[in-house]
Amino acid sequence: MKALKAEDVSDALRHSRGARVDEDVVPKFTTGERVLTRNLHPVGHTRLPRYVRARHGTIRCDYGVFIFPDAHGMGEGKKPQHLYSVCFTAQELWGPGASAHDRIYLDLWDDYLDPA
């Protein structure tokens, strides 16, 4: 791979497609659906924070299909799948002492989620 010159970074980022992929992958979840995050403990990279594992949330939106960073970072290919915005209540994450009004939104991939 060719190194990018400093003066070319801005232009390269402006024209980059990022991690979105144009593949026809059926979504596992729909907006408004309740989900349960998996309690994963992988060796290596993951973007599933420990504080949200084995917790219930609600799908707020589907961003489309993206490269799954856990697989891609380990050299296992792109493993394209849907990326969702998932809403968790503060009480679900930190217990009844947390504010009933607060919400946390995380962007999570199919492989992190199960139906609730």
Q: What would the two tokens of residue 53 be?
A: 């594992």
**Residue 74: which of 47, 94, 99 has the closest Cα?**
47
Q: What would the two tokens of residue 78 be?
A: 């792109």
pTM strictly above 0.85: no
Could you say which architecture CATH assigns to the domain 18-115? Roll (2.30)
For residues 82 and 10, the answer to whether their CB atoms sit within 8 Å is no
Between CA 66 and CA 68 the distance in angstroms is 6
Backbone angles phi, psi at 80, to 5 degrees: -60, 140
Q: Determine the pLDDT at residue 4.
A: 73
Between CA 39 and CA 81 the distance in angstroms is 19
Tens digits of per-residue pLDDT, 4-56? 788 887 776 666 567 889 999 999 999 999 999 999 998 887 899 999 999 99
Q: Which residues partner with 113 through β-bridges? A: 37
Q: Where are the domains of the chain?
A: 18-115
